[in-house]
């Protein structure tokens, strides 16, 4: 069934409206997060990005409406009750933002208005209690009401011990509130008021509602179905091919479609985001449909559509495919280049892709240059990963790198270089509780394993690779670990690099707590009795596992990484 036919089928039930936030967070909507939904999960990076986007819209200083996307609800026309099918993360983070602004202002009238956007005021006369505008899942609803939606709650939330909180969602709420509070404290009262007015007057959500759950899920699925919606790439194609003479338009349509087919529809759509970055050399500030024509297509249309296909679409699609599939080919040096692609693909973001695509597009025939380029790019990307540099400064760094590459700085581009502070910060994070950095630990250990194995680009084919502790997190009451390590020593070493290994198996809660000798023989070896990873084999060669062993091992491993990434 086509998208159109599905949408027509539910059109009579479906309502979609652009709603300003002051009408979203009012008595028209009584938002509830069903228990079957996942918990609140936005991290500081996503919340920071939301604030950055709002700041950019504010600084543009015009009356243009700013759209935050869509939410999907189960809601009947004659009731305010609204079950949130899609949009929980934004609604929750916006509520936190309103609460932070509420508790920062010294204007009591403004604080009261902001409080009314987080909770519907009660009535003493009518005997009505205050009711939150948004109720989270049952496990977190009371916490959210007490610590966010109650006037004056934010300062107490910021001081609370996160270890005492019951769920990851509650810890995420506190972390995001802390970030927003720290950022907005630096603002003047008048600037915060400007933000509040922009949020209320010209910031919109597209609210899609339907009265029953089945149709809401169908609409949500259609809205998010891959490969069905008209993408920006489809619109750009119609503009470019429509600009060509009839004599060549069919042939160039085939060239375009071949490039799309080679990448697949989703990656082909992503390609245009990266191409925009390569041309503009700045991070995106508006939607692609507005920026791409202004920043890219205007150099080709009208009159040069063939050049756009030949010089941009086809070569960049080919470069994207080689990076994604690690399929770069050259007489010599291809393996080293493909090894860099494999490492970069293991990062938790793809912001490195635009400079990588630029390099492969412009230096495809020079594998030695590419090897040096990607060594520098991976070092920069790894440092930003380890230091948890979030999206905006990360994209800004790559944009500056693209400007330098465009100015023929090449391998000497200043943005490749880490400052002394960045080196120290990277080393400090590596030397700390690395295991607690969930998105960092496996990348670091796999890179370290390459260095220890003296086999650059080593490739493992294991279906599953996990990070495990040697000294366990929770040794049993009768365990020898409690004799070999004091409580302070366990606290110091448990999550550090020296105590971590790689395994090619799922974790086993019982085996994790074995004493050292038993753990080596029964848990740290594969089915054939040999550990798969160099970093794990090292541990098997240790007769004991003590604080002194860990001290020496930590120095050795940090020295290896420092040498690999030139952090000295």
Q: pLDDT for 512-526, tens place per residue? A: 778 898 888 887 776
Percent of the chain having pLDDT more than 70?
89
Which residue, of 325, 360, 383, is where some domain finishes? 325
pLDDT band per the 50, 70, 90 thresholds, residue 402: very high
Interval 167-178 mean pLDDT: 93
Output the pLDDT for position 347.
95
CA distance 419 to 383: 11
Higher per-residue pLDDT: 494 or 209: 494
Interval 310-328 mean pLDDT: 97
Token output for 102: 């509420």
Higher per-residue pLDDT: 12 or 237: 237
Strand, coil or helix: 82: strand
Interval 99-113 mean pLDDT: 94
- Has residue 332 been placed in a domain? no
459-479 pLDDT per residue, tens:
555 668 889 999 998 898 889
- Has residue 466 been placed in a domain? yes
Interval 490-513 mean pLDDT: 84
The CA-based angle 21-114-191, given to 5 degrees, is: 85
Strand, coil or helix: 15: strand
- Has residue 508 been placed in a domain? yes
My answer on whether 34 and 175 are in the same domain is yes
Checking if the pLDDT of 387 tops 70, the result is yes
231-235, 360-364, 541-545: segment of lowest average pLDDT: 231-235
Exposure string over 360-389, b if 16+ CB within 10 A, otherwise e: bbeebeebebbbebbbbbbbbbbbbbbbbb
Token output for 539: 């541990």
114-123 pLDDT per residue, tens:
999 999 886 6
Interval 94-99 mean pLDDT: 96
CA distance 567 to 416: 13
Checking if the pLDDT of 446 tops 50, the result is yes
45-54, 76-85, 153-162, 206-215: segment of lowest average pLDDT: 206-215
pLDDT band per the 50, 70, 90 thresholds, residue 2: very low
Domains contained in the chain, number: 4
Which residues lie closer than 8 Å to 187 by C-beta, 6 or more apart? 195
Which residues lie closer than 8 Å to 422 by C-beta, 6 or more apart? 383, 387
Token output for 565: 């990434």
CA distance 272 to 205: 25
Higher per-residue pLDDT: 124 or 259: 259
56-65, 175-184, 452-461, 546-555: segment of lowest average pLDDT: 452-461
Which residue, of 209, 224, 239, is where some domain finishes? 224
- Has residue 410 been placed in a domain? yes
Output the pLDDT for position 522.
81
- Has residue 422 been placed in a domain? no
Mean model confidence pLDDT for the chain:
87
26-63 pLDDT per residue, tens:
988 999 988 767 788 899 989 999 998 899 888 887 77
- Has residue 423 been placed in a domain? no
Higher per-residue pLDDT: 111 or 123: 111
pLDDT band per the 50, 70, 90 thresholds, residue 455: low
Which residue, of 360, 382, 417, is where some domain finishes? 417
My answer on whether 199 and 245 are in the same domain is no
pLDDT band per the 50, 70, 90 thresholds, residue 228: very low
| Strand runs labelled E in 9-159 | 15-20, 30-32, 66-74, 81-86, 119-120, 131-132, 134-135
pLDDT band per the 50, 70, 90 thresholds, residue 456: low
My answer on whether 381 and 491 are in the same domain is no
CA distance 417 to 404: 12
My answer on whether 188 and 266 are in the same domain is no
CA distance 277 to 351: 10
Output the pLDDT for position 125.
65
Checking if the pLDDT of 376 tops 50, the result is yes
Higher per-residue pLDDT: 81 or 38: 81
My answer on whether 40 and 169 are in the same domain is yes
Output the pLDDT for position 13.
59
60-69, 156-165, 262-271, 541-550: segment of lowest average pLDDT: 60-69
My answer on whether 151 and 36 are in the same domain is yes
My answer on whether 19 and 86 are in the same domain is yes
CA distance 476 to 270: 49
Checking if the pLDDT of 568 tops 70, the result is yes
68-72, 324-328, 443-447, 564-568: segment of lowest average pLDDT: 68-72
Checking if the pLDDT of 368 tops 90, the result is yes
Percent of the chain having pLDDT more than 90?
58
Higher per-residue pLDDT: 105 or 510: 105
My answer on whether 409 and 446 are in the same domain is no
My answer on whether 17 and 164 are in the same domain is yes
My answer on whether 385 and 301 are in the same domain is no
CA distance 482 to 500: 18
38-52, 99-113, 385-399: segment of lowest average pLDDT: 38-52
Checking if the pLDDT of 281 tops 50, the result is yes
130 DSSP 8-state letter: P
pLDDT band per the 50, 70, 90 thresholds, residue 128: low
Provide the residue range defining the domain that includes 364. 346-417
Output the pLDDT for position 528.
55
pLDDT band per the 50, 70, 90 thresholds, residue 330: very high
pLDDT band per the 50, 70, 90 thresholds, residue 289: confident
My answer on whether 10 and 151 are in the same domain is yes
Output the pLDDT for position 127.
62
Which residues lie closer than 8 Å to 228 by C-beta, 6 or more apart? 2, 3, 222
Interval 531-547 mean pLDDT: 89
- Has residue 330 been placed in a domain? no
Note the helical H segments in 264-366: 265-280, 288-295, 305-308, 314-325, 334-345, 353-362
pLDDT band per the 50, 70, 90 thresholds, residue 4: very low
The CA-based angle 292-293-297, given to 5 degrees, is: 100
- Has residue 156 been placed in a domain? yes
My answer on whether 200 and 133 are in the same domain is yes
pLDDT band per the 50, 70, 90 thresholds, residue 233: confident
């Amino acid at each position: 069934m086509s998208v159109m036919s599905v949408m027509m089928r539910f059109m009579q039930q479906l309502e979609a409206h652009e709603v300003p936030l002051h009408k979203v967070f009012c008595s028209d909507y009584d938002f509830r997060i069903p228990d079957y939904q996942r918990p609140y999960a936005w991290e500081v990076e996503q919340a920071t990005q939301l604030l950055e986007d709002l700041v950019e819209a504010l600084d543009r200083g015009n009356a243009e409406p700013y759209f935050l996307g869509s939410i999907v609800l189960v809601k009947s026309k004659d009731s305010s009750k609204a079950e949130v099918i899609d949009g929980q993360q934004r609604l929750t983070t916006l509520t936190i933002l309103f609460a932070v602004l509420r508790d920062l202002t010294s204007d009591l009238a403004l604080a009261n208005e902001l409080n009314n956007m987080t909770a519907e005021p009660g009535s003493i006369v009518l005997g009505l209690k205050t009711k939150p505008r948004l109720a989270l899942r049952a496990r977190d609803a009371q916490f959210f009401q007490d610590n966010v939606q109650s006037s004056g709650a934010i300062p107490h939330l910021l001081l609370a011990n996160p270890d005492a909180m019951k769920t990851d969602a509650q810890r995420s709420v506190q972390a995001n509130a802390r970030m927003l509070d720290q950022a907005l404290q630096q603002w003047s009262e008048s600037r915060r008021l400007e933000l509040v007015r922009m949020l209320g007057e010209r910031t919109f959500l597209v609210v899609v509602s339907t009265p029953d759950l089945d149709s809401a899920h169908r609409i949500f699925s259609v809205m998010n179905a891959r490969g069905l919606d008209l993408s920006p790439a489809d619109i750009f194609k119609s503009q470019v091919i429509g600009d060509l003479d009839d004599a060549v338009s069919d042939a160039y349509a085939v060239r375009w479609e071949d490039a799309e087919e080679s990448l697949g529809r989703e990656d082909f759509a992503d390609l245009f985001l990266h191409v925009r970055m390569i041309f503009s050399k700045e991070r995106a500030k508006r939607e692609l449909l507005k920026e791409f024509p202004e920043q890219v297509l205007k150099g080709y249309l009208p009159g040069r559509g063939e050049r756009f296909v030949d010089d941009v679409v086809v070569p960049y699609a080919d470069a994207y495919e080689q990076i994604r599939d690690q399929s770069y080919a050259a007489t010599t040096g291809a393996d080293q280049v493909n090894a860099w692609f494999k490492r970069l693909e293991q990062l938790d973001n793809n912001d490195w892709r635009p400079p990588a695509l630029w390099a492969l597009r412009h230096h495809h025939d020079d594998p030695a240059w590419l090897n040096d380029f990607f060594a520098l790019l991976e070092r920069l990307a790894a440092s930003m990963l380890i230091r948890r540099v979030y999206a905006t400064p990360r994209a800004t760094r790559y944009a500056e790198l693209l400007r330098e590459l465009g100015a023929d700085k090449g391998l000497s581009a200043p943005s490749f270089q880490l400052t002394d502070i960045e080196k120290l910060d990277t080393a400090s994070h590596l030397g700390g509780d690395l295991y607690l950095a969930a998105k960092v630990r496996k990348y670091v250990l796999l890179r370290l394993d390459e260095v220890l194995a003296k086999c650059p680009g080593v490739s493992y084919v294991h279906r599953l690779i996990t990070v495990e502790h040697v000294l366990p997190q929770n040794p049993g009451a009768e365990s020898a670990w409690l004799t070999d390590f004091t409580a302070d020593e366990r606290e110091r070493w448990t999550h550090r690099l020296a105590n971590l290994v790689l395994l090619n198996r799922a974790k086993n809660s019982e085996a994790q707590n074995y004493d050292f000798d038993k753990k080596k023989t029964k848990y740290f070896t594969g089915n054939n009795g040999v550990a798969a990873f160099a970093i794990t084999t090292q541990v098997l060669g240790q007769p004991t596992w003590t604080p002194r062993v860990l001290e020496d091992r930590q120095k050795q491993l940090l020295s290896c990484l420092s040498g690999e990434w030139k952090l000295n």
